[in-house]
Amino acid sequence: MDTNILFQAIISGLLMGGVYALVAVSLNLIFGVMKIINFAHGVFMMLGMYFTYWISVFLGIHPYVSLFISMSALFVIGFLIQYGLINRIMEAPEHNQLLLTLGIALFFENLALFLWSPNFRMVKVTTLAGAMHVGDLMFSTPRMIAFGAALCMTVFLYLFLKKTDCGRAIRAISQDREGAHVIGIHMKIIYSVAFGIGAACVAAAGTMITPFFYITPTVGLVFVITAFVIVVLGGLGSFWGAFFGALIVGIAESLGEVLLPGSLKQVPIYSIFILTLLLRPKGLFGKKHV
Amino acid sequence: MKKRDKGGVDRREFIKGMGALGAAVAFSGFPRLAHSAEEVKFGIVEPLTGPLAPLGLSDRRGYEQAVDEINAAGGIKSLGGARLKLMLGDSEGKPEVGMAETEKHIQRGAVAVMGAFQSAVVFATTQVAEKYKTPFIVGVGVAESITQRGFKYTFRPIATDAWHIRDEYEYLDYIQKKKGIKIKTIGIFYEDTLWGQSSAKAWKKLAAEKGYSIVADLPYPHATSDVTGVISKLKAANPDVAMTVAYISDAILVTKTMKDLDFNTQAIIGMGGGHQDDAYIKTLGKLAEYVSVCENWENDLKIPGVKEANENFLKRNGVEMDCVASMCYTCVYVLKDALERAASTDREKIRDALAKTHLRPGEKGNIQPCSIIFEEAGQNKDARTVIAQIQDGKRRSVFPVQFASREPIWPMPKWKDRK
């Protein structure tokens, strides 16, 4: 095996891992705070991509500039979904919560099919679209930007949770729901803010990959199934667990791609996953709250 | 409470039973109209709803256009100008529904049935047709084994999946001879479900026979997030030609990755699927240029009738005729030709006439790039495919030469030499 191919695999795996990280960290935030598994995460990503697409088609704005628009839009959508729908079933049995988020996912996916058809689309970008070649290695510019942006967002999110009042309130709830209630944190609003932030982050991931990935109503699935694996791998509710878990999975997947044929490329991921569950059921980074 | 629930179910079942009885009476009791001279009925079974609905719609448009053209031109002359009547049947993409629809058509007096887009459905519907001794003309459905079962009532005018690969190699032979370019090594990459796997098997088998060597054999999972690994391996193998089968999502990702990795080769040849989809060109724009695809038909072929059929299709539906619509269109003309010769609506006589079909390309509504002559088990032995290359933002037929509208651009320009 050519060492170049291996290095190339590690690079592209790492860059993809950055995108996975943003998806997984936001999924984990929602789980950590609300204790619900958000099956609608993929459709938020898809909506973020479509927002970016339509903004670029109608206003001719570069996808990176529309980042803030798609994030704000998804924050509002996420906030309203939590406020109006999920808040009503916070105390319901888990399977009912699953049904609700799954229902929301089905609704948006089919709405997208209805409004925008199952056709594949792609944002056409000319600036910042190429790739750099160092020796025989290729560094795709949009992928590096996506990686950098995902990294920044993750750090911002971390600082937000650590340093701001709102962030502290979110953490307080994730640590002790009743205690937070007792000291006067407005639960419903904070829940909604946390959910909105989760949706905005995954929308950002969606926006950042539009320059190199196709858009279709079911596109979220490609990323979110991997994100679920990452979250369990890194530890449910663990912020940095999800982050490093994503990088590990990204690299494992692309090494698997060059070392194993076809669908076997996912064997390394799931092997790591099963080993983690067997040997460290709480995930690589334990169940430490942010 | 429980008791009342039970009573409700019983009532419902009673009504269902009565409904079924009514339907049975209706089917058996009504006089069959198929044998009246004014109207000759045939049925189609297509995925008109469900995930394949857009493709089923295209098929339906092809059938309907042919029916309207034939009726406008005076119907079936040997039957006193009888008009063709098309009966719709929706398979929903499911074999068991397709079987029921086929049976329904036959009960209602269809002289023949056509369909069914998916090979899995065709397997089932042709079985029903065989049982009722009714001709089934396969519009779309390329699995080779459909016409290897020795059925008497199944007819397929189009090429099988294996013949696509045969024609790809034939194209390479032609390029070598015509352009004096040596082509020796081939890289194959394909999605790793049934479609890709069976194609890979055929590629490898024929490569050995034809004197080509496969230097890269790269399966990849469908709908994956990244194909950098696969394409960098392909690049390392540096094949003269890259051949692939891909669904549209993967085809888009692969092409982008090829550009990023600066992978250059003499030709990239896809087979149907993603590369044949208009969305491939629409989504990728200039990146799609020079990519070739092996498919059953293209709407710029130089065959009498293609231009008119395509223009009529555009006028009726607002889009140009695609490959599947053309195949369904031709099927109706194949039936018409058989009806003219049989001069009867007897299914047995129509079957015998179908078995003696001989239509040259461009003759009597055959707009396919081949003659239609059915062998014993119903396969058109002359069936073949077309190679098209994306030039100036549209697929243009480049092979076979006698029907092609353009010259192939070979080798495709390197990425860095493109504007």
What's the CATH code of the domain at B347? Answer: 3.40.50.2300
**pTM for the structure as a whole:** 0.83
Answer yes or no: do B221 and A16 touch at CB < 8 A: no
- Closest CB to B228: pick one of A8, A221, A266: A8
pLDDT of residue B348: 96
Query: What pLDDT, in 10s, does the model give residues B69-101?
Result: 999 999 999 999 999 999 999 998 899 999 999
> Min CA distance, A119 vs chain B (Å)?
7
**Which residue among A9, A222, A263 places its CB closest to the CB of B229?**
A9
Residue B151 and residue B53 in one domain: yes
Number of domains in chain B: 3
Confidence at residue B25, expressed as pLDDT on a 0 to 100 scale: 46
Query: Same domain, yes or no, for B227 and B243?
Result: yes
The domain of B14 spans: 1-29
Which residues of chain B lie closer than 8 angstroms to A4, CB-CB? 232, 236
Q: Does A212 touch chain B (CB under 8 A)?
A: yes
Give the closest-approach CA distance of A41 to chain B in angstroms: 17
Candidate CATH numbers 1.10.150, 1.10.10, 1.20.1410, 1.10.3470; the one for domain A3-115+133-279: 1.10.3470
B20 lies in the same domain as B47: no
Would residue B233 count as lying in a domain?
yes
* pLDDT top residue among A35 and A78: A78
Q: Is B366 within the bounds of a domain?
A: no
Closest-CA residue of A relative to B196 is A262
* Residue B13 included in any domain: yes
**Per-residue pLDDT at B33:** 44
Q: Are residues B114 and B172 in the same domain?
A: no
* A253 and chain B in contact, CB less than 8 A: yes
Q: Is residue B257 situated within a structural domain?
A: yes
Whether residues A222 and B232 touch (CB distance < 8 A) is answered with no
Out of A120, A124, A265, name the one closest to residue B285 (CB). Answer: A124
Q: Summarize pLDDT for A178-197 with one digit per residue, the tens.
A: 899 899 899 999 999 999 99
Q: What average pLDDT is seen over chain A?
A: 90
Q: A138 and B248: CB-CB below 8 Å?
A: no
Domain assignment present for residue B248? The answer is yes
Q: How confident is the model at residue A286 (pLDDT cuts 50, 70, 90)?
A: low
Residues of A in contact with B248 (CB under 8 A): 120
Tell me the CA end-to-end span of chain B in Å, nearest whole number: 76
Residues of A in contact with B224 (CB under 8 A): 222, 265
- B92 and B69 in a single domain? The answer is yes
Residues of A in contact with B233 (CB under 8 A): 5, 258
Q: Which residue of A has its CA nearest to B231?
A: A258
Q: How far apart are CA B220 and CA A226, in angstroms?
A: 17
Identify the residue among B190, B191, B226 best suited for mutation to test binding to A, counting A beta carbons within 10 A and taking the highest.
B226
Q: What is the mean pLDDT of residues A257-281?
A: 88
- Which of A60-69, A131-140, A244-253, B179-188 has the weakest average pLDDT? A131-140
In this predicted structure, the answer to whether residue A13 has a pLDDT above a threshold of 90 is: yes
Q: Assess if residue B371 is contained within a domain.
A: no
Chain A contact for B218, CB < 8 A? yes
Instruction: Map out the domains of chain A as residue ranges.
Output: 3-115+133-279
Q: B387 versus A235: which is more confidently predicted? A: B387
A124 neighbourhood in chain B, CB within 8 Å: 285
B192 and B59 within one domain: no
Q: Has residue B368 been placed in a domain?
A: no
Is B109 a domain residue? yes
Do B411 and B306 reside in the same domain of the chain?
no
Task: Give pLDDT, residue A262.
Answer: 80
Asked if B285 lies within 8 A of A261 by C-beta distance, the reply is: no
Q: Is the same domain home to B78 and B155?
A: yes
CB pairs under 8 A between A and B: 92
Tell me, yes or no, whether B270 and B400 share the same domain: yes
Cβ-nearest to B226 among A4, A16, A121: A16
pLDDT at B32: 45
Give me the interface pTM, i.e. the ipTM. 0.85
Is there a single domain that holds both residue B227 and residue B181?
A: yes
Among B332, B355, B378, where does a domain finish? Answer: B355
B192 and B254 belong to one structural domain = yes
pLDDT for the residue numbered A64: 92
Please give, one letter per residue, the 3-state secondary structure of chain B: CHHHHHHHHHHHHHHHHHHHHHHHHHHHHCCCCCCCCCEEEEEEEECCCCCCHHHHHHHHHHHHHHHHHHHHCCCEHHHCCEEEEEECCECCCCHHHHHHHHHHHHHCCCCCEEECCCHHHHHHHHHHHHHCCCCEEECCCCCHHHHHCCCCCEEECCCCHHHHHHHHHHHHHHHHHHHCCCCCEEEEEEECCHHHHHHHHHHHHHHHHHCCEEEEEEEECCCCCCCHHHHHHHHHHCCCEEEEECCHHHHHHHHHHHHHCCCCCCEEEEECHHHHCHHHHHHHHHHHCCCEEEECCCCCCCCCCHHHHHHHHHHHHCCCCCHHHHHHHHHHHHHHHHHHHHCCCCHHHHHHHHHCCCECCCCCCCCCCCCECECCCCEECCCCCEEEEEECCEEEEEECHHHCCCCCCCCCCCHHHCC
pLDDT of A54 higher than 90: yes
Residues of chain B predicted below pLDDT 70: 1-37
